[in-house]
Structure formats: C-alpha cells, structure tokens
Chain A
Amino acid sequence: MPEALPVNPWVSLAYLVAGVCFILALRGLSSPATSRRGNRLGMIGMGIAVVTTLITHDIASPIELAAAIAIGGAIGFVTARRIAMTAMPQLVAAFHSLVGLAAVLVAAAAFLNPVAFGIAQVIRPIFGPDVVTILPVSRIEMSLGVAIGAITFSGSVIAFLKLNGNMGGKPILLPGRHVINLALLAAILGLVVLFVEDQSPWIFWTITVLSFAIGFLLIVPIGGADMPVVVSMLNSYSGWAAAAMGFTLHNSAMIITGALVGSSGAILSYIMCKAMNRSFVSVIAGGFGGDAGGGASGAAAIDRPWKRGSADDAAFLMSQAEQVIIVPGYGMAVAQAQHALREMGDKLKAHGVRVKYAIHPVAGRMPGHMNVLLAEANVPYDEVFELEDINSEFAQTDVAFVIGANDVTNPAAKTDKSSPIFGMPVLDVEKAKTVLFIKRSMGGVGYAGVDNELFYRDNTMMLLADAKKMVEEIVKAIE
C-alpha cells in the first residue's frame, strides 16, 4: 500500500478555503469597485495555504526557509513597487517564467524525494536497501508538470526578452521548425508514456530538457504584435503546471488555482485571437508581422496624396468639437504619452468637449495594457470604452484622435479581401467627421505590414511627430 499523507480533515478544509478565496479574488475583478477587495482575498487565500503547509509539517531547516521567503519576497515586492506601468507586459512575462521554473524544481524535488510527497510505495526487503517505487499515476502527473513548467519557463524568458527589447520583435524563422516542434512534442509524450513503465532518471531529465527546448522554439518565431496571445497562453500554461503539481500533492488549493489560472489564460488567448481574426494555431505557428510587403506598400504611400496638419490645426479642430474619441495604441505606450494625453483631455473638457477613449482588445502588448496606462494617468475608467461599446459612436463624433494605433483602425479590414488583416474587427474611426492620426513618419507600416487606407482619406489629417511631443504641443495650443 502507498504511504498515505496524514489525513486531517481540517487540513483539507483549509486548502479548500484557500481555493475559494482565489475564486473570489478573480470574481472581484468583474468591476474596478470590487477589485481591491478581491485582491485582498487572494492574499488571505495564499496566507492560509502557506500557513497550513507550515504547521502540518516538521520544518527541518527553518532558517534556510525563512531566508528563502525573505529574499524572494523582498525582490518581488521592491520590483512591484518600482516597475514602470509601461513595462508591465515584460514584468508579467518574467513572473510567468518564475512560476514555470518553480514548477520544474518542485517536480524534480518530488522525483528525487517521492516519500516526502507521499507518492511512493516503499518495499522493505529483509536484506538490502529499501525499494522505492513512485506510483504510476504520480509519474504521469509529475512528468506532465515538469514538461509544462519547463515550456512555461523557456517560453516566458523569450517573451520577456522580446517585450523588453533585448531581442528584436521580428519573428525569427528556422527552416523546418514545424517538423522539429512536432517531433519534439511527440518525443516528450512518448517519454511520458515510457516513464510510467520505467522510472529511470534519464527519462525524467530528458523530458525536462526537451521541454525547455520546445518552449524556446515555440516562442522564437512569434512576432511582437502577437505577444498579447503569447503572454496569455503562457499565463494559461503556468496554471496547468500548478494544477499538475496539485494532482501530485493531492492538494485542492493548487488544483483549484491551476484550473482557474489555466482557464483564465486560455480565455484571454481566445479573446485576443478573435480580436485579430486569427486562429490560435496560426498565431502559434508564428511568422506573422514580418517585413513581407512592408517595403512595397511603404513606397506606394509616397505616391498617394495625403493631408498634413499641425498641432495648432489639431487644437483648433478639437476645441471646436462636441465630442472627441481618443484611440490609443502601443505607440502611446512607447512614447509614454498617456499623461500628456490626459492633460489634453482635461483641457478639452474645460472647453465643454465630451472626451471618450476607445480601446481595441489587442491594442498594446498584453490584454488590458491601454486601460492600465490610462488609469495610471488618472483617466477615469468610466470614460474608457471597449470596441463593441463605442464603435457605433464614431459616426456622431467630430474628431477621432488616433495615437500610436494603426492596424486596429484600418478600414481595409472591412473592405479589402486581399488584405492580411481582412475580417479583423476594427474601430470605425473613418466615420468621424475628422480623423487626426499621430504617426512618426509616412514611411512605416503597422505590425501586420499593411498600408493603412485611413491615411489617404479626405477627412484624415496626419500629424507627423513623436506622439508625446505632438500631444504636448496640442495642449499648449489649446486656448
């Protein structure tokens, strides 16, 4: 018989309570008003889980343990307080990598010391050493846990490097990468099956190494604009890794959390894919957002007539307007223009202009990226609207002010069947009386590598400058 964990109903109950706290933490996020209470419940849940584990085990080395928590906690806390809001996508990617690595280490520890985890069958022969056999179910759980954890780790490291700018955002395409990835995946699954039969260390470690490799290979070919999907997907993986370890430990708090986080990441990936009208498989296959066609359409841009405006023109148009809708994108984050933008909004409001913000789901580098930046700049959240809630309003709007967004405003997505972004839901900015479009120069194209129809419309005025500088000049120009 396996050596069972000490079964104390109060312990199981405590872990269940922790799990419920985590559910309520996510539930709180249904509205900004209840969100902070939710976050506190999450902290309480974590406290319950940790304290329960500590008091139900004999602590062999309390000093080392306290040191590990103190060092890790201090690093995490200081980073969280200091990090700039524009760096949030890379911070989240970095945190994901830590969860992945922790899962790998826990799985490795469980493999090396299965008795401590209560997942081993120990036979004590009269002669010779004890024979320790890991339960077959646990072998599946721990090998899946180590594999998902390793993929999460190496994938998140690559995502971090791309988001942080240490690595180019352009996809890096290896020849035959699909064949390599599928072969690796098949090898990992084959080894997991073999591991159930044979608990040799080489199988476990080979699974680990191959999983690190596949995580790396999966993310390297994915371009910068697809990062919202990648970050969400890695979020999901970190959850499944936690769930797999929860199965190993028979711990309901870990299983509930893993399932919550896993579904959360999966749903976010789904929302992001839908907002780009792309299938999940095509995002993961990678290669989107390269320079294909970029040069050609860039050249075409010069030939077509377009109108250029100045900060004074923009200030005049907007201060005369009844309603202005601001459409921010990744360029706003890069230029750190959110504070200047809010100042502009305040000045316009003082002139009796109604100011609203329209957010496309994939604007920025992670889900909700724009909302956080606007919140940081003290834009009230009830002035910020999602695509489907505001899209019908453009037709009754005097000025649409596009700052740092491009593909998500391209009307070609609705009309041009040959466009790579055809079918993607876009903001109907061209329906506004005037479109003001801030862009650094006319040469560049969006991430999708397509020219934007919007630039050449009669009602579009291009404001060519750095986003932050342009907004600051407009603020000055508004009387």
Chain B
Amino acid sequence: MDFISILSVFVLACFVGYYVVWSVTPALHTPLMAVTNAISSVIIVGALVASMAAGAEIAKWLGLVAVALASVNIFGGFAVTERMLAMYKKKER
C-alpha cells in the first residue's frame, strides 16, 4: 500500500472511531477503556514481525519482549473486560 492509501484508511477510521465511541453508553466507559487497551495491543503484529525476523539478534529480543508485554495486555484486557461486562445485569422481574 502506498502512503496515501494508508493515510486514507487512517483518516476514515478516525471518523468511524468518533461516531462509534460517541454511541457507547457512559455506563460502559470503564469496559471501553479496558477493551481499547486490549485491542491496541494489536501492536503485537509488529512485535511478531520483529521477533521472527532473522538477521538482527537485538531486534529479535526486543521483539520477543514486546510480544510478551502485548500478550499480557491482550489476555488481561479481554479477560478483565469480559469479567466486568458479565456483572452488568438487568433488573430481575
């Protein structure tokens, strides 16, 4: 992809983000932060690329540490969001 098409994806995604986030109910703002935390760990993709590449030993280890950190976030973020969301219950009638 050339720079302009990437930039287009980015700008459009910002608009999507704007409208989607405004539609989130304020009661779920804490789970919102937890889940955005989890998904921003998609940076693990970069960490995986670095850790798998042959050639630079230091870069590989930096990548591996980044993979571990991002994994903490992915598993922790989704699990804690799941735990919180499970607590939101409607009135029993």
A contact set with B: CB distance below 8 Å: 12, 15, 18-19, 22-23, 25-27, 29-32, 35-36, 38-39, 42-43, 45-46, 49-50, 53-54, 57-61, 64-65, 68-77, 79-81, 83, 85, 88, 91-92, 95-96, 98-99, 101-103, 105-106, 108-110, 112-113, 115-117, 137, 231-232, 235, 238-239, 241-243, 245-265, 267-268, 271, 359, 361, 366-369, 371-372, 375-376, 378, 380-384, 386
Q: Which of A45, A256, A378 has the most CB of B within 10 A?
A: A256
B contact set with A: CB distance below 8 Å: 1, 3, 6, 9-10, 13-14, 16-18, 20-56, 58-60, 62-92
A54-B48, A263-B18 are known contacts. Are A30 and B23 too (CB-CB below 8 A)?
A: yes
**Docked-complex contact A80 and B79, CB < 8 angstroms:** yes
A23-B16, A76-B79, A255-B10 are known contacts. Are A367 and B46 too (CB-CB below 8 A)?
A: no
In the complex, chain A residues whose CB is within 8 Å of the CB of B46: 106, 109-110, 117, 245, 248-249, 251, 254
**Docked-complex contact A368 and B32, CB < 8 angstroms:** yes
The 10 closest A-B pairs by CB, nearest first: A72-B71, A76-B76, A368-B29, A116-B53, A263-B17, A109-B50, A259-B13, A367-B29, A80-B79, A113-B56
**Docked-complex contact B76 and A69, CB < 8 angstroms:** no
Sample of 26 A–B contacts (CB below 8 Å) = A25-B39, A27-B20, A29-B25, A42-B39, A45-B39, A49-B42, A65-B51, A68-B71, A71-B68, A76-B75, A80-B77, A80-B83, A99-B73, A102-B43, A105-B62, A115-B55, A117-B50, A231-B33, A245-B46, A246-B6, A256-B9, A262-B14, A267-B18, A267-B21, A367-B26, A381-B27
A98-B70, A232-B33, A253-B45 are known contacts. Are A380 and B91 too (CB-CB below 8 A)?
A: yes
Within 8 Å by CB of B78, from A31, A46, A113, lies A46
In the complex, chain A residues whose CB is within 8 Å of the CB of B26: 271, 359, 361, 367-368, 371, 386
**Docked-complex contact B51 and A64, CB < 8 angstroms:** yes
**Docked-complex contact B71 and A113, CB < 8 angstroms:** no
**Docked-complex contact B39 and A257, CB < 8 angstroms:** yes
Q: Which of A105, A242, A386 has the most CB of B within 10 A?
A: A105
**Docked-complex contact A75 and B76, CB < 8 angstroms:** yes
**Docked-complex contact B30 and A247, CB < 8 angstroms:** no
* Given contact pairs A95-B34, A99-B70, a sample of 7 additional A-B residue pairs in the complex whose CB atoms are under 8 Å apart: A53-B48, A76-B71, A80-B83, A117-B50, A255-B6, A361-B26, A386-B26
**Docked-complex contact B62 and A109, CB < 8 angstroms:** yes
In the complex, chain B residues whose CB is within 8 Å of the CB of A99: 37, 40-41, 43, 69-70, 73
A-B pair count, CB < 8 Å, reads 383
A29 to B84, CA, bound (A): 12
**Docked-complex contact B40 and A239, CB < 8 angstroms:** yes
Within 8 Å by CB of A12, from B1, B37, B42, lies B1
Q: Which of B25, B45, B48 has the most CB of A within 10 A?
A: B45
A29 to B91, CA, bound (A): 19
**Docked-complex contact B33 and A235, CB < 8 angstroms:** yes
A108, closest chain B residue (CB): B62
A228, closest chain B residue (CB): B29
In the complex, chain B residues whose CB is within 8 Å of the CB of A383: 91
A91 to B38, CA, bound (A): 12
A163 to B46, CA, bound (A): 30
**Docked-complex contact B78 and A116, CB < 8 angstroms:** no
In the complex, chain A residues whose CB is within 8 Å of the CB of B13: 19, 255-256, 258-260
A270 to B60, CA, bound (A): 39
**Docked-complex contact A50 and B45, CB < 8 angstroms:** yes
B89, closest chain A residue (CB): A380
Distance in Å: Cβ of B48 to nearest Cβ of chain A: 5
Within 8 Å by CB of B37, from A77, A92, A108, lies A92
A328 to B54, CA, bound (A): 55
A109, closest chain B residue (CB): B50
A61-B51, A260-B16 are known contacts. Are A368 and B28 too (CB-CB below 8 A)?
A: yes
